[in-house]
Amino acid sequence: MGMGKLMRATFAASAIAALGSGCGSDVQTTLHQIDNEPFEGEFDYPGLETDVACASSAECEDGDRCTEDRCVEGECVAFAIPSTDCCSADVLFSESFDGTIDDGVAMSQLNGAAGWHILPARATSEPYGLYFGDPTTMSYNVGEHVAGEVVLPAVDLPLDRISVLTMRLFAGIETSWEFDLFWVKADVIEGGAVAETVDLLDKRGIPANAYEAFALVELDLEPMRGRRIVIRFGFDSIDEVNNDFEGVWLDDLQVLATCPVPGVCSQDSDCDDHDECTINICAPAGCLETFSCDTPDPDPTVDETNPCLADDAPDDCCISDADCDDGDSATINTCNGATCETTLNPDACDEAVECDDGESCTTDSCNNNFCRYVGDGSAACCTESLETLADFDNESLQGIYVTDNFETGVFWTTDKTRSSGGEFSLYCGDPVTQTLASTERVKTSATTRPIDVPVGGTTTIAFDLYKATRFAKNYDVFQAFILRDGALLPAWSSKLLPNGTTDSAWRHVRVPLTFHAGQRVQVRFVFDSVDAPTQGHEGVYIDSLRVETVCDE
């Protein structure tokens, strides 16, 4: 696909050091556009071809995950990455649009003026590419709102391998994040119906060089490992103005099964950790273990699932919001971690008329002495949108305000150990030891900048969560709260997870803002260990924080 395999070269140890270890990412080469960056040391180019000229390394991208592609003295050179992490890939789905199109590919469009077409004007594998626009004018400036979607056939992702979607993308569209949207989504199919939709790419994630030429884009499908998915591509101009641009081109779509997932096993002996107090087995989900040594009988006077019964229980301790209810409609009572917190009710009410906001696009009601505002999802009131609040990939908090409640030195900070996309995430733990280990209770919060919730549609805060803590719902609690006019409102808690953790995997979490249409809110993430987390578990990561508004179909 693309330019094909250009050439390979062996290189000296000094060059290996320059490239670093791990599987070479051609996507990183594309995104960072390393133009004519010289290597130190001597090189041997056996069979080097010199008929592919280049001006930058981005032009040399060959799509091979196990090569580092560079433009050296005006010629493309593909350097093999010497790492066991680089492995062969099996193609689960492929479409180059150059012959008979897969019967399972479906295309739709908002109206007849502009839509998806297979044309020869641009392609990375000749002769054809997939184009969105009006083929008669090679533009989507047709005087009206245009949109369209491409749906690929269902693909079953293997449980034991890392899967990715790769494609070539040219975005000849307006660069504003609010208009001319391109996105990629994956629907998880269970029982023949859509059980979950995962956002793979939005406009903010499009590589900068894709606005000038075809760029290679690789999207991680790891959160859907072992499941059946349907991938969708979409373009939406949002409006009918400022659309005098060429349009979107796609080519060489592939779903690949690549390296084995770490921890995947074939027999019980693969999982042996040589600990005499554990029993290790190989299961379809990977290595599993259970503790086998005798332990002292628990103290019958202490409920280990309820920290409020412990001798060192926090002051004003709670495990649920009900524990904090003071019966006063003028206050909001919330169990914040393991401590009750009381804030004033900004919208105390007895009936719906007291909640009238004067906005025709919201339905106002009074529920449990609190005003609720639900947005109208019709076209007259609603405009769909997707905004990234923070991805932390410039190693910045990006407007997130962090507090260390008990000054333990363990708090939220940017970190590159794990991420669900890009290089950095927001981590709760000690970045030196990469654990939560502390001799004191740890509590820390991270609060977003103010968010103006649209009056129309349903708005949701979405983020990715990785929680490696104790298997105890009422300890090491992670929560998301909504702050509205000074009131702290519970929105999501790790107590909803089966064992209070994400089981060593990223989990996609959605926090609805359904009752806050037309309001200004903030989202506060809180981690509370409840007691001293001396065991030294890794900690909590959040990433890819987004706000999304959808309209009624």
User: SS3 sequence, 379-417?
Assistant: CCCCCCEEEEEECCCCCCCCCCEEEECCCCCCEEEEECC
Shared fold status for 90-260 and 321-550: yes
Average pLDDT rounded to a whole number, residues 467-494:
92
CA distance 443 to 525: 11
Q: Summarize the confidence of residues 251-280 as an average pLDDT.
A: 74
Residue 201 has pLDDT above 60, yes or no: yes
The answer to whether the CB of 118 falls within 8 A of the CB of 101 is: yes
Which two three-digit tokens encode residue 27?
Answer: 């996507």
Instruction: Give the residue among 95, 98, 59, 93 at the shortest CA–CA distance from 77.
Output: 59
Residue 478: predicted pLDDT: 96
For residues 234 and 147, give the distance between their C-alpha atoms in angstroms, rounded to a whole number.
7
Q: In what helix (H) or strand (E) does residue 195 lie, and over which residues does it extend?
A: strand 193-201
Average pLDDT for 250-274: 77
Quickly name the fold that domain 321-550 has: Jelly Rolls (2.60.120)
**Is the separation of the CB atoms in 128 and 119 below 8 Å?**
yes
Q: What are phi and psi of 158, to 5 degrees?
A: -70, 150
**Model confidence at 429: pLDDT above 50:** yes
The predicted pLDDT at position 86 comes to: 62
Percent of the chain with pLDDT over 90: 45
- In this predicted structure, the answer to whether residue 297 has a pLDDT above a threshold of 50 is no
Average pLDDT estimate for 327-342 = 92
Rounded Cα gap, residues 547 and 543, in angstroms: 13
Average pLDDT over residues 200-207: 88
Most confident of 70-74, 210-214, 268-272, 286-290: 210-214
Q: For 23-32, 164-173, 334-343, 460-469, which range has the lowest pLDDT when averaged over its residues?
A: 23-32
Residues 367-375: what's their mean pLDDT? Answer: 90
Strands 115-119 and 129-133, bridge-based pairing = antiparallel
Where does 90-260 sit in CATH, by number?
A: 2.60.120.200
Q: Provide CB contacts within 8 A for 447, sequence distance 6+.
A: 400, 401, 402, 403, 483, 522, 523, 524, 525
Beta strands 161-172 and 215-220 are antiparallel
Map out the domains of the chain as residue ranges: 10-80, 90-260, 321-550
Q: Are 39 and 30 in contact (CB under 8 A)?
A: no
- The answer to whether residues 295 and 199 touch, using CB atoms and an 8 Å cutoff, is no
- For residue 9, the model assigns a pLDDT of 29
125 has pLDDT over 70: yes
Asked whether the beta carbons of 476 and 539 are under 8 A apart, the reply is no
CB-based contacts of 391: which residues, under 8 Å, 6+ apart?
204, 398, 421, 422, 424, 543, 544, 545
> d(Cα 153, Cα 93) in Å, to the nearest integer?
8
Number of neighbouring beta carbons within 10 Å of residue 32: 15
pLDDT tens digit sequence for 65-106: 666 667 777 777 776 654 444 677 889 999 999 878 888 899
- What's the whole-number mean pLDDT along residues 280-292? 60
d(CA 543, CA 390): 8
Q: HSE of 362 in the Cβ direction (CA atoms, 13 Å)?
A: 23
Peptide bond before residue 490 is cis, with ω within 30 degrees of 0: no
Q: What is the pLDDT of residue 265?
A: 65
Query: What's the pLDDT score for residue 103?
Result: 86
pTM: predicted TM-score of the whole model, two decimal places: 0.49
User: In angstroms, how far apart are the furthest CA atoms of the chain?
Assistant: 82
pLDDT > 70: what percent of the chain? 79
Quick one: which of 56, 53, 57, 62 has its CA closest to 7?
62
Checking phi first, is residue 355 left (phi over 0); if not, alpha (psi -120 to 50) or beta? alpha
Count CA within 13 A, CB hemisphere, residue 368.
8
Whether residue 30 has pLDDT greater than 50: no
Q: Which two tokens stand for residue 57?
A: 């390394």
Give pLDDT, residue 23.
33
